[in-house]
Homo-oligomer: A and B are copies of this chain.
């Protein structure tokens, strides 16, 4: 299995604190040593850092921890391989372009018989993972349904939720998906989220000896939502998502949610 991390914020915010915790699970406090990746949106653009090496030992992960890239949407993944070899083309997040936007996708779980059950035509996988294959199938379905024009977010992501539950039938499908504006999460069996806003307090990482007082790092207007496979802090109250639940965030706030 793998671990997922994502952020949606109403002001460009760095994710150094959360990432510092998560990266320890890539070979140190956790077994997810088969590569990692993180994608930061800045406007319509995005940039990724990826490494097939364990995040706990990666020079690139160290840079990401120390170099505060401010972003309104972030998706991160650390991998424990189950489908597909440990190599760069199998390292999440996967990014593809549609409707003049970058679409970023990360998956935790495992899917059986995905090639037969999720035929792809327009978007062809590059690597050999179940995850990328399901992403290509998802994009194919979106393009088939909505054609050349991106629909409004709630219509779009409600359909993504339906597609997610179809994929979920094949195994375990915890999903993070973003187009830079919205952050969508579908829970198969394991996802937690928290929204931080004023009054801000303190938080302590579970995986590293790091404590932060968000009051000193933020303004009263900031709203920041973090989604993770497992809670990253020990002194905050994270919402546990249930199987089949989905959440849509935009600029840190919940835009819609439901059960698929």
Counted per complex, copies of this chain come to 2
Given A100-B124, A101-B126, A89:B45 Cβ within 8 A:
yes
Chain A, residues 119-131, CB within 8 Å of chain B (1/0): the string is 0010111110000
Given A59-B67, A60-B63, A67-B60, A126:B90 Cβ within 8 A:
no
Whether B48 contacts A47 by the Cβ 8 Å rule is yes
Chain B's nearest CB lies how many Å from the CB of A11? Answer: 17
Chain B's nearest CB lies how many Å from the CB of A127? Answer: 7
Chain B's nearest CB lies how many Å from the CB of A207? Answer: 23
Chain B residue nearest to A91 in the complex (CB): B45
Tell me which residues across on chain B come within 8 A of A19, comparing CB atoms: none
A97 to B99, CA, bound (A): 14
Whether B126 contacts A88 by the Cβ 8 Å rule is no
Given A49-B49, A60-B63, A63-B59, A89:B44 Cβ within 8 A:
yes
A51 to B46, CA, bound (A): 10
Give chain A's interface residues, CB within 8 Å of chain B. Answer: 42-52, 59-60, 63, 67, 87-91, 96-102, 121, 123-127, 148
Give 11 new A-B contacts, CB below 8 A, not counting A43-B87, A102-B126: A42-B88, A43-B89, A44-B89, A44-B126, A45-B88, A45-B90, A45-B127, A47-B88, A100-B124, A100-B126, A121-B148
